Amino acid sequence: MAMLPARKPDRPSDGAPHGMRPAVARRHHGGRSFDEHGWVVEEAPLFIDIVGAGSYTLMRTAAQGAEEACAYTVADGVLAEAGVPDSLALAAGFLLSEGIVADFGEVQSMALCADTPEHLRVELFDPSRAPRGGRLVASACGLCGESTGQHPAAGLPQVGRALHLVLADLPRLMTEMERRQPIFRATGGSHSAGLFDASAHLVAVAEDLGRHNALDKVIGEAVLTGRLRPGCGVLLSGRVSLELVAKAARAGVELISAISAPTSLAIDTAERCGISLCGFVRQGRATVYTHSERLVG
């Protein structure tokens, strides 16, 4: 078998491999073999302790950048649009999209522990109103560990009717989101999500090894920067399943645009919640499964 020289990895464009770590693997192709130096997504836990209400462990892409001192309190109000730490964005989106809080105004503070920055402490104004519990949320599924016996789509709200788009905006927004995926370009192992406003402007993009985490990050970033407003929609890099539609509904998102297919429960839940659900949004096409009245052209 022919031996080829080792291939060096493409370094991310900003020069810093945030959320990734180097790896060496043996590639076999066409009767030849060589050592390939590349990058893989770095998986790490985020432990969220909600005082008086329970604890959750989220398996996510390792935080990007130094987050040792990141914190949010209600006195901070709206954070700057640039530089919302991954851990705060993920936690804020998770609290809202999982129904732990009905409105982010219920959150008094969030802060990473100085000694153990993978632990995040959340204080609510009234923890008695939050569902009590805790679970491990694995990277593959946002519903893992549910044990309430209640259907996961039960009690979801109806979303608003503020969004109206030209159909051609969806492939354009998807292309714009794809340009902002450095982890995927380097590793091929991440999902991405984007959030756009009623003017079809992309206001947040995030990557993560979990589809639901990426969605939570853009929801959380928009919450913390005051940009989660009526008429928002989301972009997803993969298929759409029920838990993603449920998260979007709790956040008031009116449209979901995905590069791949939806599941049957995703379609049923989007129809019931009033969400426009679009799949196969790529190469200038889109398939609209529910509530097509928001889209023209």
- For the stretch 233-265, pLDDT in tens is 999 999 999 999 999 999 999 999 999 999 999
Q: Do residues 270 and 290 lie in contact, with contact meaning Cβ atoms separated by under 8 Å?
A: yes
pLDDT value at residue 195: 98
What integer pLDDT is reported at residue 289 of this predicted model?
98
Distance between CA atoms of residues 185 and 173, nearest Å:
18
| pLDDT given for residue 132 in this prediction | 79
- Adjacency order of strands within the sheet including 2-7: 2-7, 32-41, 20-29
Catalytic residue among 141, 144, 273, 278: 141
Query: For the ranges 55-64, 81-90, 186-195, 254-263, which has the lowest average pLDDT?
Result: 81-90
pLDDT > 70 fraction of the chain, expressed in percent and rounded: 86
Domain 165-296 has CATH 3.30.565.10: no
**Cα 76–80–85 angle (5° rounding)?**
90
pLDDT above 60: residue 9? no
141 is catalytic: yes
Question: Domain segments of the chain: what residues?
Answer: 43-137, 165-296
CB 238 within 8 A of CB 258: yes
Q: Which amino acid is at 226?
A: G
**pTM, whole model, 2 decimals?**
0.88
pLDDT band at residue 149 using 50, 70 and 90 as cut-offs: low
75 vs 16: which has the higher pLDDT: 75
